[in-house]
Amino acid sequence: MLNQTQKPLIGIPTRINYNDDSFYLRRYYSEAIYNAGGIPVYLPLIPEVDYIETVANNLDGVVLSGNNSDVDPLRYGQGPHIKLGTVSDERDETDLLLLQACESRKLPILAVCYGMQILNVYRGGTLFQDLESQIDEVLKHQQEGSYTRVSHSIKIKEESLLAILAGGNTARVNSHHHQGVDTLGRDLEPIAWSADGLVEAVINTRVDQFILGVQWHPEAGWEKDSLSQALFKHFISRTMRR
């Protein structure tokens, strides 16, 4: 439990580069978290229960970051689609253990892009392995060019938390993914959609733990985007209520 002078410690799983065996993460997550009032802590991908349990005991919340790999479809009972990308057992397993540890401690979670997808799988849901191949009249969700450029609109559920943070029922977001939520996981409510019907945000319906998942990247361009700033500030505020 935090006292009034402490800032919450926020764990962020890193990525793995198999070419040089390094853990890494773009700077934007830590900057967005720090700007919102949290202390970012990068977490190496060590999928061991004792490590995750020890880390979780010292955290106040977790941001499940985006990743440059796909969730292994074996984890939701499917074989690999022909357009499945690279999978990372280290990242999948680390995130799943983090989700379990956070759930037992009721730690708040903000799940971004891949993070929202692994959250959905953790709750028993499935994914579209390749949106272009599996959704008719799909939008271009794998954005090219600037990482921060907003590329499509989302429709937000009225009176939802996201609508409050966005100040309305629509927003424009950046997009960097080729997979997405298919069958929704347990106790996850969809609260935003793109024009092609893809779920763009989910929220936990269990009242004992705050979890918000977004399919876009609010950490990219947060300096100029009011919704991104509102998302991180609200998340940090939830980590301080425990």
- Give the domain ranges of the chain: 9-239
Class of domain 9-239: alpha beta
Query: Smallest Cα–Cα separation from 220: which of 11, 15, 29?
Result: 29
pLDDT, mean of residues 184-205: 98
Identify whether 113 is a catalytic site residue. yes
| Backbone dihedral region for residue 167 (phi beyond 0: left; psi -120 to 50: alpha; all else: beta) | left
d(C-alpha 176, C-alpha 192), whole Å: 17
- The answer on pLDDT for 1 being more than 70 is no
- The answer on pLDDT for 192 being more than 80 is yes
The β-bridge relationship of strands 199-204 and 188-194 is: antiparallel
Q: Quick: pLDDT tens for 210-230.
A: 999 999 999 998 999 999 999
Query: Smallest Cα–Cα separation from 30: which of 240, 220, 178?
Result: 220
pLDDT, mean of residues 81-91: 97
Q: Quick: pLDDT tens for 33-64.
A: 999 999 999 999 999 999 999 999 999 999 99
Identify whether 219 is a catalytic site residue. yes
- The answer on pLDDT for 83 being more than 80 is yes
Which pair of tokens denotes residue 222? 């947060």
pLDDT, mean of residues 134-161: 91
pLDDT confidence band for 151 (50 / 70 / 90)? confident
Mean residue pLDDT of the chain comes to: 95
* pLDDT score for 121: 98
102, 152, 177, 219: the active-site residue: 219
pLDDT confidence band for 123 (50 / 70 / 90)? very high
* pLDDT score for 71: 98
Say what percent of the chain tops pLDDT 90: 92
113, 141, 176, 234: the active-site residue: 113
Residue 109 — φ and ψ, nearest 5°? -135, 135
